[in-house]
Structure 1
């Protein structure tokens, strides 16, 4: 009887933890989807590579959170598979941002600093809220830790856009915007490599990953 009771307690705790994860993931997904729409629109009006790159970061995060929601409570291989998909998504967005930066280098740009700074400041406040919600999961499995990594990157991206806007306003040059857009793309690619390096072996060889995860 005591064994059954312990099993029931463990199952209830696991279900409660999964429900908590889903609630938090839904919250940050909605926030990031809204940020994408707002930042992309502002980036288009402001003619800003950095702000559009930041908006793609929000779109990528919304996709990452959706993938994480799909595998909450799933098998280790399924969770690692979701992490692989996240890594590929981050890499794709990095390449898209680099292409956009290249286009602006060829055809020129005149970013509007006040709009850049205002939109990035709003995004920074929203992402700080997401970061606090996700911080509790940073020590969990790769699926949830990759979510936290994305949120951490958001703060760096937002701060970079605000800094770029300030320098654009002071100098009247578009180069700070282009440089920050490039750095955000590099951050995408670095995160992609980091997640893929950890997730790929676990997805290809789930038994070995499971053994490693359970070894104290």
Structure 2
């Protein structure tokens, strides 16, 4: 209908064969790194690695949701992004709670395992970031993928830095502080994703109402 968007979104919505192929590659990278980091976190006793492993798992699952949402309506895609934002917030709260619990438990993480695995994880996430770079400004569903991958790369650098500080100080505090900072990053990104998703849902609702109003108006008869 002329002059009525009727819920159409001008932002990239992921409906691209190339984007779907990249997303499958990124999902595979995240799934492999989840397995690697779970083992490494148990072997090293690092909360930062455990938080990063959980992030890899969350990314694998939420990227799968992104794939399922592609091609659906704006409301469906925004709702999927909203779910991912809430999930990311829950992950952040879990990591924060687990870190606070670990504060009261003695034990220094193995900095060699922390650093080497964090370097491997950074390489994996840097590859994902480069693959997704051109799609970073899409709708909430697409943008959430970019934000998660960007966060992961930042987190890996922080874990590597923590490993260096643990080596020189021989204390567990750098590891715990990085884990807490990662939890804060999860919560911040979840806020951005949820805010954009709610805006898109609201815009879609308003657009549908406008379409109904326009459609209900009687056509003007020509004299």
TM superposition score normalised by structure 2: 0.84
The yes-or-no answer on 1:81 pairing with 2:79 is yes
Change (3 A) 1:135 1:210: farther
What is the aligned partner in structure 1 of residue 51 from structure 2? Answer: 53
SS at match of 1:106: coil
Q: Stretches of 4+ moved more than 6 A in 1?
A: none
On the 8 A contact 1:48/1:109 being kept in 2, the answer is no
CA distance 1:184–1:79, shift in 2 (3 Å): same
Q: How many residue pairs were aligned?
A: 197
1: distance between equivalents of 2:177 and 2:183? 10
CA deviation vs aligned residue, 1:17-54 (integer Å, no higher than 9, x gap): 52112111111011101111111110111000111111
- Give the corresponding residue for 1:34: 32
Q: Is the 8 A contact 2:91 2:186 kept in 1?
A: yes
Give a deviation string over 1:158-211, Cα, whole Å, max 9, x none. Answer: 000000000000110110000000000000111111111111242355233789
Moved more, 33-42 or 177-186: 33-42
- Mapping 1:1-216, distance limit 5 Å: 18-203=16-201, 206-208=204-206
Output the aligned Cα RMSD: 1.9
State whether residues 15 and 70 of structure 2, in contact with CA within 8 Å, keep that contact through their aligned partners in structure 1.
Answer: no
User: Looking at both structures, which has the greater relative contact order when contacts are Cα pairs under 8 Å and sequence separation is at least 6?
Assistant: 2
More helix by share: 1
Cα drift, residue 108 of structure 1:
2.3
Distance 1:62 1:136 in 2: 20
- In structure 2, runs of 5+ residues without a counterpart are 1-11, 210-223
- Aligned in 2, Cα 1:49/1:139: closer, same or farther, shift over 3 Å? same
